[in-house]
Amino acid sequence: MVTKERVEGMPDDGRGSGYQSVIAALEYNRFLAGPAPYMKIDKVSFELTTSSTPIRGVQVVHIPKSTAHELMHGKPSRIRRWDLVASLWATIFEIAERDGRDTTEMISLEELHMHHQAGWPPRPDRTPTAGITHAFKEAQHDKPDMSTTVPAVRSPHREPSRSGPTSRLETARIQLLAETRERGKQAWWQPYRTVVPEYFEIYLTLEPELSVIKTYAPNRIPGLLQTEYYAHTMISLDLADISPQHQARVVELRMRRQEILRRPDPPQLWAVIDERALRTTKSTAFMMRSQLKHLIKLARLQHVTIQLVPERSAEHAVTEGPITIIQLTETHKPNLIYLEHAAYGLYPHMSKDVDYFVHTFGNLAIKAWPIEQSIERLRSMLGEL
Protein backbone atom coordinates (compact mmCIF):
# COMPACT_ATOMS: atom_id res chain seq x y z
CA MET A 1 0.00 0.00 0.00
CA VAL A 2 1.32 3.43 -0.90
CA THR A 3 1.93 5.64 2.14
CA LYS A 4 -0.52 8.52 2.47
CA GLU A 5 0.90 12.00 2.63
CA ARG A 6 -0.61 15.36 3.44
CA VAL A 7 0.93 17.99 1.21
CA GLU A 8 -2.10 20.26 1.07
CA GLY A 9 -0.28 23.20 2.60
CA MET A 10 2.53 23.26 0.08
CA PRO A 11 3.00 26.73 -1.45
CA ASP A 12 2.05 27.45 -5.09
CA ASP A 13 5.59 27.04 -6.40
CA GLY A 14 8.34 24.43 -6.61
CA ARG A 15 6.98 20.91 -6.68
CA GLY A 16 3.37 21.99 -6.79
CA SER A 17 3.78 23.49 -10.23
CA GLY A 18 4.07 19.97 -11.62
CA TYR A 19 0.66 18.75 -10.42
CA GLN A 20 -0.52 19.19 -14.00
CA SER A 21 1.01 15.82 -14.87
CA VAL A 22 -1.13 14.20 -12.15
CA ILE A 23 -4.23 15.89 -13.59
CA ALA A 24 -3.31 14.57 -17.04
CA ALA A 25 -2.80 11.03 -15.73
CA LEU A 26 -6.16 11.07 -13.93
CA GLU A 27 -7.88 12.41 -17.04
CA TYR A 28 -6.23 9.68 -19.10
CA ASN A 29 -7.59 6.97 -16.78
CA ARG A 30 -11.02 8.63 -16.56
CA PHE A 31 -11.26 8.69 -20.36
CA LEU A 32 -10.47 4.97 -20.51
CA ALA A 33 -13.22 4.43 -17.93
CA GLY A 34 -15.96 5.80 -20.10
CA PRO A 35 -15.28 8.67 -19.23
CA ALA A 36 -16.57 8.11 -15.70
CA PRO A 37 -19.18 10.77 -14.70
CA TYR A 38 -18.42 12.76 -11.54
CA MET A 39 -21.75 11.68 -10.01
CA LYS A 40 -20.72 8.04 -10.49
CA ILE A 41 -17.31 8.73 -8.91
CA ASP A 42 -19.14 10.23 -5.91
CA LYS A 43 -21.41 7.20 -5.53
CA VAL A 44 -18.79 4.48 -6.07
CA SER A 45 -16.16 6.10 -3.84
CA PHE A 46 -18.75 6.29 -1.04
CA GLU A 47 -19.44 2.56 -1.49
CA LEU A 48 -15.73 1.77 -1.37
CA THR A 49 -15.23 3.60 1.94
CA THR A 50 -17.18 0.82 3.67
CA SER A 51 -14.49 -1.73 2.77
CA SER A 52 -12.25 -2.70 5.69
CA THR A 53 -9.48 -3.77 3.33
CA PRO A 54 -7.64 -1.51 0.87
CA ILE A 55 -8.97 -1.33 -2.70
CA ARG A 56 -6.00 -1.97 -5.03
CA GLY A 57 -3.64 -0.80 -2.32
CA VAL A 58 -5.71 2.26 -1.39
CA GLN A 59 -7.89 2.84 1.68
CA VAL A 60 -10.50 4.82 -0.23
CA VAL A 61 -11.94 8.00 1.22
CA HIS A 62 -15.16 9.49 -0.11
CA ILE A 63 -14.67 11.72 -3.18
CA PRO A 64 -17.72 13.99 -3.67
CA LYS A 65 -18.30 15.07 -7.25
CA SER A 66 -17.13 18.62 -6.48
CA THR A 67 -13.87 17.25 -5.04
CA ALA A 68 -13.35 14.97 -8.04
CA HIS A 69 -13.82 17.90 -10.40
CA GLU A 70 -11.38 20.05 -8.40
CA LEU A 71 -8.77 17.27 -8.32
CA MET A 72 -8.91 16.98 -12.12
CA HIS A 73 -9.56 20.55 -13.21
CA GLY A 74 -8.39 22.78 -10.37
CA LYS A 75 -5.38 25.05 -10.24
CA PRO A 76 -2.36 23.03 -11.47
CA SER A 77 0.04 25.01 -9.26
CA ARG A 78 -1.35 23.57 -6.00
CA ILE A 79 -0.54 19.95 -5.27
CA ARG A 80 -3.33 17.89 -3.64
CA ARG A 81 -3.28 15.42 -0.77
CA TRP A 82 -2.12 12.02 -1.88
CA ASP A 83 -4.95 10.18 -0.08
CA LEU A 84 -7.52 12.07 -2.19
CA VAL A 85 -5.60 11.54 -5.43
CA ALA A 86 -5.12 7.82 -4.72
CA SER A 87 -8.80 7.40 -3.76
CA LEU A 88 -9.87 9.02 -7.03
CA TRP A 89 -7.50 6.71 -8.92
CA ALA A 90 -8.90 3.60 -7.18
CA THR A 91 -12.50 4.71 -7.76
CA ILE A 92 -11.96 5.32 -11.48
CA PHE A 93 -10.26 1.92 -11.76
CA GLU A 94 -13.18 0.25 -9.97
CA ILE A 95 -15.72 1.93 -12.26
CA ALA A 96 -13.82 0.77 -15.34
CA GLU A 97 -13.71 -2.83 -14.11
CA ARG A 98 -17.41 -2.85 -13.18
CA ASP A 99 -18.26 -1.64 -16.68
CA GLY A 100 -16.10 -4.34 -18.25
CA ARG A 101 -13.60 -1.91 -19.78
CA ASP A 102 -9.99 -2.72 -20.61
CA THR A 103 -7.81 -1.44 -17.77
CA THR A 104 -4.46 -2.69 -19.06
CA GLU A 105 -3.53 0.72 -20.49
CA MET A 106 -4.42 2.67 -17.34
CA ILE A 107 -1.73 4.54 -15.43
CA SER A 108 -0.71 2.43 -12.43
CA LEU A 109 -0.90 3.65 -8.85
CA GLU A 110 2.88 3.50 -8.54
CA GLU A 111 3.37 5.59 -11.66
CA LEU A 112 0.77 8.11 -10.50
CA HIS A 113 2.57 8.34 -7.16
CA MET A 114 5.85 8.94 -8.97
CA HIS A 115 4.29 11.92 -10.81
CA HIS A 116 2.76 13.18 -7.57
CA GLN A 117 6.08 13.01 -5.74
CA ALA A 118 8.29 14.33 -8.50
CA GLY A 119 5.99 17.09 -9.65
CA TRP A 120 6.64 16.39 -13.35
CA PRO A 121 6.49 13.40 -15.70
CA PRO A 122 9.69 11.41 -16.25
CA ARG A 123 11.84 12.18 -19.28
CA PRO A 124 11.28 9.73 -22.15
CA ASP A 125 14.80 8.33 -21.77
CA ARG A 126 14.63 8.02 -18.00
CA THR A 127 14.52 4.50 -16.51
CA PRO A 128 11.01 3.86 -15.13
CA THR A 129 10.64 2.99 -11.44
CA ALA A 130 9.89 -0.52 -10.26
CA GLY A 131 6.16 0.15 -9.99
CA ILE A 132 5.57 0.72 -13.68
CA THR A 133 4.06 -2.20 -15.54
CA HIS A 134 6.24 -4.76 -17.29
CA ALA A 135 4.87 -3.74 -20.66
CA PHE A 136 5.90 -0.14 -20.08
CA LYS A 137 9.39 -1.26 -19.04
CA GLU A 138 9.66 -3.17 -22.31
CA ALA A 139 8.45 -0.17 -24.24
CA GLN A 140 11.05 2.13 -22.73
CA HIS A 141 14.00 -0.22 -23.13
CA ASP A 142 13.11 -2.16 -26.28
CA LYS A 143 12.43 0.07 -29.23
CA PRO A 144 10.21 -1.70 -31.78
CA ASP A 145 11.98 -3.85 -34.32
CA MET A 146 10.43 -2.51 -37.51
CA SER A 147 11.45 -5.68 -39.31
CA THR A 148 8.52 -7.30 -37.49
CA THR A 149 5.99 -4.88 -38.95
CA VAL A 150 3.95 -5.66 -42.04
CA PRO A 151 3.23 -3.07 -44.72
CA ALA A 152 0.77 -5.49 -46.23
CA VAL A 153 -0.01 -8.75 -44.36
CA ARG A 154 2.06 -11.79 -43.60
CA SER A 155 0.59 -15.22 -44.05
CA PRO A 156 -1.92 -16.06 -41.30
CA HIS A 157 -0.41 -19.54 -41.13
CA ARG A 158 2.99 -18.30 -40.05
CA GLU A 159 3.24 -18.80 -36.29
CA PRO A 160 5.38 -16.48 -34.17
CA SER A 161 8.26 -18.25 -32.51
CA ARG A 162 7.00 -17.76 -28.97
CA SER A 163 4.26 -19.82 -27.30
CA GLY A 164 1.51 -18.96 -24.83
CA PRO A 165 -0.96 -16.03 -24.61
CA THR A 166 1.42 -13.53 -26.23
CA SER A 167 1.97 -15.63 -29.35
CA ARG A 168 -1.76 -16.36 -29.60
CA LEU A 169 -2.43 -12.62 -29.56
CA GLU A 170 0.17 -12.06 -32.26
CA THR A 171 -1.36 -14.83 -34.36
CA ALA A 172 -4.81 -13.27 -33.87
CA ARG A 173 -3.49 -9.93 -35.18
CA ILE A 174 -1.99 -11.57 -38.27
CA GLN A 175 -5.24 -13.39 -38.96
CA LEU A 176 -7.28 -10.22 -38.47
CA LEU A 177 -5.06 -8.32 -40.91
CA ALA A 178 -5.33 -11.10 -43.50
CA GLU A 179 -9.11 -11.38 -43.13
CA THR A 180 -9.51 -7.61 -43.39
CA ARG A 181 -7.35 -7.50 -46.51
CA GLU A 182 -9.66 -10.08 -48.10
CA ARG A 183 -12.84 -8.28 -47.01
CA GLY A 184 -11.47 -5.06 -48.50
CA LYS A 185 -12.31 -6.36 -51.98
CA GLN A 186 -15.98 -5.59 -51.25
CA ALA A 187 -15.48 -2.73 -48.75
CA TRP A 188 -17.33 0.59 -48.74
CA TRP A 189 -14.32 2.47 -50.14
CA GLN A 190 -14.09 0.48 -53.39
CA PRO A 191 -15.54 3.36 -55.49
CA TYR A 192 -12.38 5.28 -54.46
CA ARG A 193 -9.96 2.39 -55.03
CA THR A 194 -7.97 4.30 -57.67
CA VAL A 195 -6.90 6.85 -55.02
CA VAL A 196 -6.37 4.43 -52.12
CA PRO A 197 -2.78 3.24 -51.51
CA GLU A 198 -2.54 -0.51 -50.90
CA TYR A 199 -1.17 -0.02 -47.39
CA PHE A 200 -4.22 2.09 -46.42
CA GLU A 201 -6.81 -0.50 -47.49
CA ILE A 202 -6.83 -2.43 -44.19
CA TYR A 203 -7.36 0.69 -42.10
CA LEU A 204 -10.13 2.00 -44.38
CA THR A 205 -11.95 -1.33 -44.22
CA LEU A 206 -11.82 -1.42 -40.42
CA GLU A 207 -12.54 2.26 -39.69
CA PRO A 208 -16.39 2.07 -39.77
CA GLU A 209 -16.24 -0.97 -37.43
CA LEU A 210 -14.13 0.68 -34.74
CA SER A 211 -15.29 1.53 -31.22
CA VAL A 212 -12.15 3.43 -30.20
CA ILE A 213 -9.64 5.40 -32.27
CA LYS A 214 -6.61 6.96 -30.58
CA THR A 215 -4.26 8.93 -32.77
CA TYR A 216 -1.17 11.05 -32.30
CA ALA A 217 -0.64 13.62 -35.05
CA PRO A 218 2.82 15.22 -35.26
CA ASN A 219 2.67 17.17 -38.53
CA ARG A 220 -0.93 17.27 -39.71
CA ILE A 221 -4.34 17.48 -38.04
CA PRO A 222 -5.87 13.97 -38.17
CA GLY A 223 -7.97 13.30 -41.27
CA LEU A 224 -11.16 12.70 -39.26
CA LEU A 225 -10.89 16.22 -37.82
CA GLN A 226 -9.98 18.17 -40.94
CA THR A 227 -12.15 20.76 -42.66
CA GLU A 228 -12.60 20.28 -46.38
CA TYR A 229 -10.48 23.34 -47.12
CA TYR A 230 -7.66 22.17 -44.84
CA ALA A 231 -7.80 18.69 -46.42
CA HIS A 232 -7.66 20.18 -49.92
CA THR A 233 -4.67 22.37 -49.02
CA MET A 234 -2.69 19.60 -47.32
CA ILE A 235 -3.39 17.04 -50.04
CA SER A 236 -2.28 19.56 -52.68
CA LEU A 237 1.01 19.88 -50.78
CA ASP A 238 1.50 16.20 -49.98
CA LEU A 239 0.39 14.87 -53.39
CA ALA A 240 1.58 17.68 -55.64
CA ASP A 241 2.58 15.25 -58.40
CA ILE A 242 -0.93 13.90 -59.04
CA SER A 243 -3.73 15.51 -61.06
CA PRO A 244 -6.24 17.96 -59.53
CA GLN A 245 -8.99 15.41 -60.27
CA HIS A 246 -7.12 12.75 -58.31
CA GLN A 247 -6.58 15.19 -55.43
CA ALA A 248 -10.31 16.04 -55.40
CA ARG A 249 -11.19 12.34 -55.05
CA VAL A 250 -8.81 11.99 -52.10
CA VAL A 251 -10.50 14.97 -50.42
CA GLU A 252 -13.93 13.47 -51.12
CA LEU A 253 -12.87 10.17 -49.55
CA ARG A 254 -11.57 11.96 -46.46
CA MET A 255 -14.88 13.79 -46.03
CA ARG A 256 -16.78 10.49 -46.43
CA ARG A 257 -14.70 8.93 -43.67
CA GLN A 258 -15.78 11.66 -41.25
CA GLU A 259 -19.38 10.44 -41.42
CA ILE A 260 -18.62 7.91 -38.68
CA LEU A 261 -18.36 10.80 -36.19
CA ARG A 262 -21.94 11.89 -37.00
CA ARG A 263 -23.67 8.52 -36.82
CA PRO A 264 -25.83 7.53 -33.77
CA ASP A 265 -23.14 5.16 -32.43
CA PRO A 266 -19.87 6.99 -33.19
CA PRO A 267 -16.49 5.64 -32.12
CA GLN A 268 -14.65 7.29 -29.27
CA LEU A 269 -11.99 9.42 -30.95
CA TRP A 270 -9.01 10.60 -28.90
CA ALA A 271 -6.64 12.85 -30.84
CA VAL A 272 -3.35 14.03 -29.35
CA ILE A 273 -2.03 16.74 -31.66
CA ASP A 274 1.48 18.18 -31.66
CA GLU A 275 1.19 21.97 -31.46
CA ARG A 276 3.66 22.15 -34.35
CA ALA A 277 0.85 20.87 -36.59
CA LEU A 278 -1.08 24.08 -35.82
CA ARG A 279 1.61 26.53 -36.86
CA THR A 280 0.45 29.14 -39.33
CA THR A 281 1.92 31.50 -41.87
CA LYS A 282 0.29 34.50 -43.50
CA SER A 283 -0.70 32.32 -46.41
CA THR A 284 -2.39 29.71 -44.18
CA ALA A 285 -4.03 32.02 -41.63
CA PHE A 286 -7.47 31.92 -43.26
CA MET A 287 -7.37 28.14 -43.55
CA MET A 288 -6.32 27.74 -39.92
CA ARG A 289 -9.02 30.10 -38.63
CA SER A 290 -11.74 27.82 -39.96
CA GLN A 291 -9.82 24.70 -38.92
CA LEU A 292 -9.35 25.90 -35.33
CA LYS A 293 -13.05 26.77 -35.09
CA HIS A 294 -13.82 23.26 -36.36
CA LEU A 295 -11.57 21.65 -33.73
CA ILE A 296 -13.16 23.69 -30.94
CA LYS A 297 -16.62 22.65 -32.13
CA LEU A 298 -15.65 18.96 -32.34
CA ALA A 299 -14.01 19.05 -28.91
CA ARG A 300 -17.43 19.77 -27.39
CA LEU A 301 -18.76 16.41 -28.62
CA GLN A 302 -18.94 13.72 -25.95
CA HIS A 303 -17.21 11.14 -28.15
CA VAL A 304 -14.31 13.38 -29.24
CA THR A 305 -11.31 14.21 -27.06
CA ILE A 306 -8.62 16.59 -28.28
CA GLN A 307 -5.35 17.31 -26.48
CA LEU A 308 -2.43 19.44 -27.60
CA VAL A 309 1.16 18.44 -26.92
CA PRO A 310 3.66 21.28 -26.34
CA GLU A 311 6.51 21.12 -28.82
CA ARG A 312 9.11 20.60 -26.11
CA SER A 313 7.29 17.46 -24.87
CA ALA A 314 6.92 15.72 -28.23
CA GLU A 315 10.06 16.48 -30.18
CA HIS A 316 12.08 13.50 -28.90
CA ALA A 317 9.22 11.09 -28.28
CA VAL A 318 7.97 9.56 -31.52
CA THR A 319 8.56 8.71 -35.16
CA GLU A 320 7.84 11.22 -37.88
CA GLY A 321 4.49 9.70 -38.86
CA PRO A 322 1.13 9.49 -37.11
CA ILE A 323 0.43 6.69 -34.62
CA THR A 324 -3.11 5.30 -34.60
CA ILE A 325 -4.38 2.73 -32.09
CA ILE A 326 -7.65 1.09 -33.10
CA GLN A 327 -10.09 -1.06 -31.17
CA LEU A 328 -12.91 -3.02 -32.80
CA THR A 329 -16.45 -3.21 -31.43
CA GLU A 330 -16.01 -6.97 -30.97
CA THR A 331 -14.13 -7.10 -27.68
CA HIS A 332 -12.55 -10.48 -28.49
CA LYS A 333 -10.65 -8.95 -31.43
CA PRO A 334 -7.12 -7.67 -30.66
CA ASN A 335 -6.22 -3.99 -30.78
CA LEU A 336 -4.16 -2.92 -33.78
CA ILE A 337 -1.56 -0.24 -34.45
CA TYR A 338 -1.39 1.66 -37.73
CA LEU A 339 1.72 3.71 -38.47
CA GLU A 340 1.39 6.07 -41.41
CA HIS A 341 4.39 7.45 -43.25
CA ALA A 342 4.68 9.57 -46.36
CA ALA A 343 4.91 6.64 -48.77
CA TYR A 344 3.89 3.55 -46.78
CA GLY A 345 1.92 2.26 -43.82
CA LEU A 346 2.74 -0.38 -41.22
CA TYR A 347 0.63 -2.66 -39.00
CA PRO A 348 2.92 -4.08 -36.26
CA HIS A 349 1.68 -7.39 -34.90
CA MET A 350 4.41 -8.29 -32.36
CA SER A 351 3.16 -7.66 -28.82
CA LYS A 352 6.27 -5.80 -27.70
CA ASP A 353 5.89 -3.39 -30.63
CA VAL A 354 2.17 -2.86 -29.94
CA ASP A 355 2.95 -2.26 -26.25
CA TYR A 356 5.60 0.26 -27.19
CA PHE A 357 3.26 2.40 -29.28
CA VAL A 358 0.34 2.07 -26.84
CA HIS A 359 2.50 3.39 -24.02
CA THR A 360 4.11 6.01 -26.23
CA PHE A 361 0.61 7.36 -26.87
CA GLY A 362 -0.17 7.24 -23.16
CA ASN A 363 3.04 9.06 -22.31
CA LEU A 364 2.25 11.77 -24.87
CA ALA A 365 -1.28 12.15 -23.45
CA ILE A 366 0.22 12.71 -20.00
CA LYS A 367 2.64 15.31 -21.36
CA ALA A 368 -0.16 17.03 -23.29
CA TRP A 369 -2.23 19.91 -21.97
CA PRO A 370 -5.34 18.64 -20.13
CA ILE A 371 -8.53 18.65 -22.17
CA GLU A 372 -9.97 21.96 -20.98
CA GLN A 373 -6.61 23.71 -21.26
CA SER A 374 -6.15 22.28 -24.75
CA ILE A 375 -9.46 23.83 -25.79
CA GLU A 376 -8.39 27.13 -24.23
CA ARG A 377 -5.14 27.00 -26.20
CA LEU A 378 -7.12 26.42 -29.39
CA ARG A 379 -9.24 29.46 -28.55
CA SER A 380 -6.11 31.48 -27.83
CA MET A 381 -4.59 30.49 -31.18
CA LEU A 382 -7.84 31.46 -32.90
CA GLY A 383 -7.79 34.81 -31.14
CA GLU A 384 -4.23 35.47 -32.36
CA LEU A 385 -5.41 34.97 -35.94
pLDDT value of residue 88:
95
Q: Does the pLDDT at position 385 exceed 80?
A: no
Domain boundaries, the chain: 14-121, 141-384
Across the range 194-198, mean pLDDT stands at: 93
Q: Which pLDDT tens digit goes with each residue over 59-74?
A: 999 999 999 988 887 7
Which pLDDT score is estimated for 313?
A: 65
Q: How confident is the model at residue 319, as a pLDDT?
A: 55
Calculate mean pLDDT across residues 246-261: 95
* φ, ψ for residue 308, nearest 5 deg: -105, 135
Per-residue pLDDT at 33 exceeds 90: no
Percentage of the chain lying above the pLDDT 70 cut: 79
Q: Which of 10-24, 72-86, 129-143, 227-241 has the highest mean pLDDT?
A: 227-241
Q: Worst-scoring range by mean pLDDT, 56-70, 280-294, 327-341?
A: 280-294
Higher pLDDT, 89 or 311: 89
How sure is the predictor about 265, in pLDDT bands with cuts at 50, 70 and 90? very high
138 pLDDT more than 60? no
The mean pLDDT of 113-140, rounded to a whole number, is 43
* pLDDT at position 142 over 60: no
Round to whole Å and give the CA distance between 153 and 244. 31
What is the mean pLDDT of the segment spanning 89-95?
A: 94
Do 367 and 313 form a contact (C-beta atoms < 8 A)? yes
Q: How confident is the model at residue 342 (pLDDT cuts 50, 70, 90)?
A: confident
Res 153 pLDDT > 60: no
Higher pLDDT, 280 or 269: 269
Q: What is the pLDDT of residues 154-188, one digit of tens each?
A: 333 333 344 455 678 888 899 999 999 999 999 99
Report pLDDT for 215: 95
What is the tens place of the pLDDT at every residue in 298-311? 999 999 999 999 87
Is the confidence at residue 8, as pLDDT, over 60?
A: no
Beta carbons of 360 and 143 less than 8 angstroms apart: no
Distance CA 233, CA 98 (A): 46
4-18 burial: b if 16+ Cβ within 10 Å, else e: eeebeebeeeeebeb
Q: What percent of the chain has pLDDT over 90?
A: 44
Q: Is residue 314 very low, low, confident or very high in pLDDT (cuts 50, 70, 90)?
A: low
For residue 22, the model assigns a pLDDT of: 82
Which of 174-183, 246-255, 257-266, 308-317 has the lowest average pLDDT?
A: 308-317
Mean residue pLDDT across the chain:
80
pLDDT of 109 strictly over 60: yes
pLDDT of residue 194: 94
- The per-residue pLDDT for 93 is 93
pLDDT of residue 89 exceeding 60, the answer is: yes
Q: What is the pLDDT of residue 164?
A: 54
Cα–Cα nearest to 223, from 260, 178, 259, 257? 257
pLDDT of residue 339: 93
Are the C-beta atoms of 332 and 212 separated by less than 8 Å?
Answer: no
Per-residue pLDDT at 318: 57
State which of 44-53, 125-134, 304-313 shows the largest mean pLDDT: 44-53
Residue 357 has pLDDT above 70, yes or no: yes
